[in-house]
């Protein structure tokens, strides 16, 4: 398990919340389509922290406010996949929490031929594009569908404006799409050869009609004068030339018919192979359905562990807020203590300072 997280506060909380001995790795960087420096825009709802400027409305996210920014380094996601040694042969899951950058990351992986190395993708995205230069959840699902992914189960609408989706790579659909493309290519080649054969036969018929017409003219000229005999000899020569052309066309037609027959035979063999491969894919699909139950159990376990981590994160934030209030109150008492010379009042301030640090003061 590998976590890629640019927010140093969340990185620290993840390190504290992670059970000891878990086989996981934490990379304190931002992942994106390019490498370099970037700025993280932080909001009071940390799930919407983004590398892009938000355009959210108050109606969609009531109370949402931008609370600051911080700089961090970005690693190109395709380089990260290569360095981690993620291959297509493995059962690799991609859990994507990158508000506004979901399309950029997935499209970069698709263009670099790395997306198919992940058999499953789980991501959250807005129903509408709420960040600058971002895409809606529907557009992202369409792109994943074109890449061979199918939606697994029902989407999680616990947050209506920010649903979660689970898709899996269907290698069967990719294989069928490739087979259909190959089949269409063979059909197009056969059609072209058949059209060429028809054109050749039409030309042959035209030559045959010309030969018959010349034969008729020849018979009429043979009964005439020497001029007609000369013309007849010229016609004889033309007839011989036409005979040669006819023979050449006969040979060409035989070659075309042979090519058409060979292509038809090859197409039949390819169709047989494709049918066999399709039957095998259907058999493999039945096995995959049986394995699906085990994979979904693993997914539920992963979701439960993710829930525990989020709960630990929430408790850490509450403790940090309380500690911030205590330190603020203690700072005020300490300032008054440094300015006060009256010993009796200094004792009272000291007492209040201790109460503020221990959390007994009502203001904290």
Task: Give the pLDDT confidence score for residue 361 in this predicted structure.
Answer: 67
Tell me the C-alpha distance between 44 and 226, whole Å: 111
| pLDDT, tens digit (0-9, with 9 covering 90-100), for 158-204 | 888 889 999 998 877 677 777 777 878 888 888 888 888 888 888 88
| pLDDT, tens digit (0-9, with 9 covering 90-100), for 255-308 | 888 888 888 888 788 888 888 887 887 777 777 777 777 888 888 888 888 888
Res 140 pLDDT > 90: yes
Phi, psi of 287 (to 5 degrees): -65, -40
Task: Give the pLDDT confidence score for residue 223 in this predicted structure.
Answer: 63
Task: Give the pLDDT confidence score for residue 364 in this predicted structure.
Answer: 59
Kindly state the DSSP code that residue 19 receives in the 8-state scheme: P
State the average pLDDT for the chain: 82
Res 17 pLDDT > 80: no
Tell me the C-alpha distance between 129 and 99, whole Å: 10
The correct CATH number of 2-169 out of 2.60.120, 4.10.240, 3.40.50, 1.10.10 is 3.40.50
Top-confidence residue, 216 or 96: 96
pLDDT band at 142; cut points 50, 70, 90: very high
Lowest mean pLDDT among 65-69, 155-159, 262-266, 354-358: 354-358
Side-chain half-sphere CA neighbours of 153 within 13 A: 15
Q: Please name which of 151, 93, 169, 155 lies closest in space to residue 127, comparing C-alpha atoms.
A: 155
Task: Give the pLDDT confidence score for residue 104 in this predicted structure.
Answer: 92
Domain residues of the chain, as ranges? 2-169, 178-276, 325-364
Q: Is the distance from CB of 167 to CB of 143 less than 8 angstroms?
A: no
Top-confidence residue, 51 or 222: 51
pLDDT band at 225; cut points 50, 70, 90: low
Task: Give the pLDDT confidence score for residue 362 in this predicted structure.
Answer: 62
């Amino acid at each position: 398990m590998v976590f890629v997280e640019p927010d140093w506060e969340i990185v620290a909380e993840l390190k504290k919340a992670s059970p000891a001995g878990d086989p996981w790795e934490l990379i304190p960087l931002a992942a994106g389509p390019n490498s370099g420096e970037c700025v993280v825009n932080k909001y009071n709802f940390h799930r919407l922290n983004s590398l892009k400027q938000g355009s959210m409305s108050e109606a969609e996210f009531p109370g949402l406010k931008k609370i600051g920014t911080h700089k961090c380094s970005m690693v190109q996601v395709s380089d990260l996949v290569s360095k981690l040694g993620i291959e297509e042969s493995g059962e690799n899951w991609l859990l994507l929490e990158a508000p506004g950058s979901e399309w950029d990351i997935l499209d970069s992986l698709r263009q670099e031929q790395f997306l198919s190395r992940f058999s499953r993708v789980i991501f959250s995205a807005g129903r509408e594009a709420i960040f600058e230069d971002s895409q809606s959840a529907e557009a992202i699902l369409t792109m994943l569908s074109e890449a061979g992914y199918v939606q697994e189960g029902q989407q999680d609408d616990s947050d209506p404006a920010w649903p979660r989706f689970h898709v899996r790579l269907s290698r069967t659909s990719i294989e069928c799409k490739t087979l259909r493309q190959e089949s269409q290519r063979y059909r197009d080649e056969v059609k072209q050869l058949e059209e060429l054969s028809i054109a050749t036969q039409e030309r042959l018929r035209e030559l045959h009609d010309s030969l018959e017409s010349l034969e008729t003219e020849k018979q009429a000229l043979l009964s005439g004068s020497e001029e007609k005999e000369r013309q007849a000899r010229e016609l004889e020569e033309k007839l011989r030339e036409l005979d040669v052309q006819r023979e050449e066309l006969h040979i060409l037609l035989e070659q075309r018919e042979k090519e058409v027959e060979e292509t038809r035979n090859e197409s039949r063999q390819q169709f047989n192979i494709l049918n066999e491969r399709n039957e095998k894919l259907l058999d493999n699909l039945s096995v995959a359905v049986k394995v699906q139950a085990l994979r979904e159990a693993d997914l539920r376990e992963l979701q439960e562990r993710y829930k525990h981590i989020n709960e630990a994160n929430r408790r850490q934030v509450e403790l940090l807020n309380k500690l911030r209030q205590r330190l603020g109150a203690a700072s005020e008492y300490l300032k008054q203590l440094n300015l006060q010379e009256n010993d009796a009042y200094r004792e009272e301030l000291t007492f209040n300072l201790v109460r503020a640090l221990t959390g007994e003061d009502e203001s904290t």
